[in-house]
Amino acid sequence: MIRINDIIDKVTAYSAEADLDLIGRAYIFSARAHAGQVRLSGEPYLSHPLEVAGILADMKLDAISIASGLLHDVVEDTQFTEDDVHDMFGKEVALIVAGVTRLGTVPLKGAKARQAENIRKMFLAMADDIRVILIKLADRLHNMRTLKYHKAQKTQQKIARETMDIFAPMAARLGIYWIKSELENRSFYYLQPDTYIEIEALVNKEKQAREEYIESVQALITQKMAEKGLSCEVQGRFKNYYSIYRKMVTQALDFEDVYDIIAFRIILDTDSKCYEALGHIHSLWKPIDGKIKDYIARPKPNMYQSLHTTVIGPVKDRMEIQIRTHEMDQVANSGIAAHWRYKEGGKSDKELDHTYAWIRDLVASQESIQDPDEYLENVRIDLFPEAIYVFTPRGDIMELPRGATPIDFAYKIHTDVGHQCVGAKVNGRMIPLRTELKTGQHVEVVTNKQSTPSKDWLEFVKTSKARSRIRNWVKTQEKERSINLGREMCEKAFRKQKLNFNTLSKKKEMDAVVADFGFKKLDDLLANIGYGKTTPLQIIRKIVPKNAVVTDGITEMAPSKDASSKKKGDGITVQGMDDMLIRFGNCCQPVPGDPVIGYISRGQGVTVHHAECKNVARLDHERYIDVEWDSSSEAAYPVDIFVESLDRVGLLADMAGVISKSGANIISANTATNKKKEVSTTLTVMINDHNHLIRLLADLREVRNVRSVRKLK
Which residues of this chain interact with Mn ion, rule CB under 5 A?
73, 139
Q: In angstroms, give the least distance from the CB of 397 to Mn ion.
A: 22
Cβ nearer to Mn ion, comparing 102 with 210: 102
For the chain, the straight-line distance linking the first and the last C-alpha, in angstroms and rounded, comes to: 88
638 closest CA partner among 594, 687, 570, 681: 687
Closest CA to 352 of 366, 368, 340: 340
Here the contacts of 182-187 (C-beta below 8 Å, separation 24 or greater) are 182/141, 182/144, 182/240, 183/137, 183/140, 183/141, 183/144, 184/240, 184/242, 184/243, 185/240, 185/241, 185/242, 186/144, 186/145, 186/147, 186/160, 187/144, 187/160, 187/161, 187/163, 187/242
Count how many Cα atoms sit within 13 Å of the Cα of residue 328 in the half-sphere of its side chain: 24
Q: What distance in Å separates the CA atoms of residue 397 and residue 125, rounded to the nearest whole number?
A: 13
Torsion sign across C-alpha atoms 10, 11, 16, 19? negative
> Is 431 in contact with 424 (CB distance < 8 Å)?
yes
Q: In the 8-state DSSP scheme, what is residue 500?
A: -
Give strand pairing partners of 311: 287, 319
d(CA 251, CA 553): 87
Give dist(CA 161, CA 103) in Å, integer: 18
**Cα distances (angstroms) measured from residue 158 to each of 110, 123, 413, 549:** 9, 19, 28, 82
Residues in the chain: 713
DSSP state of 435: P
Closest by CA position to 93, among listed 103, 101, 85, 84: 85
Give strand pairing partners of 399: 389
Q: Helices in 192-313 by DSSP H: which ranges? A: 193-205, 207-227, 241-250, 271-284
CB of 152 to Mn ion, least distance (A): 19
Cβ 441 to Mn ion, closest distance in Å?
24
CA–CA gap between residue 633 and residue 568 (Å, rounded): 8
The distance of closest approach from Cβ of residue 139 to Mn ion in the complex, given in angstroms and rounded to an integer, is: 4
DSSP state of 169: H
Nearer to Mn ion, 73 or 689 (CB): 73
Shortest distance, position 77 Cβ to Mn ion, whole Å: 8
Task: Give the residue with the Cβ less far from Mn ion, 139 or 654.
Answer: 139
Give the nearest distance from C-beta 37 to Mn ion in angstroms: 12
Report the candidate in 55, 45, 44 with the shortest Cα–Cα distance to residue 76: 45
H runs (alpha helix) in 569-627: 614-617
> Closer to Mn ion at the Cβ: 74 or 582?
74
Helix (H/G/I), strand (E/B), else coil: 394: coil
> What is the Cα 209 distance to its own chain's centre?
56
Nearest CB to Mn ion, comparing residues 71 and 522: 71
Bridge partners, residue 322, by sequence: 265, 308
CB of 66 to Mn ion, least distance (A): 15
Torsion of CA 602, 603, 609, 614, to 10 degrees: -30
**CB-closest chain residue to Mn ion:** 139
Closer Cβ to Mn ion, 70 or 540, answer by number: 70
**Of residues 129 and 488, the one with the C-beta less far from Mn ion:** 129
Catalytic residues: 76-77
Task: Provide, rounded to whole angstroms, the least separation between the CB of residue 72 and Mn ion.
Answer: 6
Residue 111 C-beta: closest distance to Mn ion, Å: 19
Nearer to Mn ion by Cβ, of 73 and 488: the residue is 73
CA pair distance 626, 595, nearest whole angstrom: 11
Cα–Cα nearest to 398, from 406, 407, 389: 389
Taking the least distance from each CB to Mn ion, the nearer of 89 and 494 is 89
**CB-nearer residue toward Mn ion: 139 or 408:** 139
Burial (CB count <10 Å: 0-12, 13-18, 19+), residue 610: buried
CB of 11 to Mn ion, least distance (A): 20
Least spacing, CB of residue 73 vs Mn ion, in Å: 4
DSSP string, 190-212: HHSHHHHHHHHHHHHHTHHHHHH
Q: Between 89 and 264, whose beta carbon lies closer to Mn ion? A: 89
Least distance in angstroms from the C-beta of 131 to Mn ion: 15
Q: How far is the CB of 132 from Mn ion (least distance, A)?
A: 13
Nearer to Mn ion, 73 or 162 (CB): 73
CA atoms of 98 and 85, how far apart (whole Å): 9
In a 13 Å sphere around the CA of 454, the CA atoms on its Cβ side amount to: 11
- Cβ proximity to Mn ion, 136 vs 412, nearer residue: 136
> Over 37-97, what HEC string results?
CECCCCCECCHHHHHHHHHHHHCCCCHHHHHHHHHCCHHHHCCCCHHHHHHHHHHHHHHHH
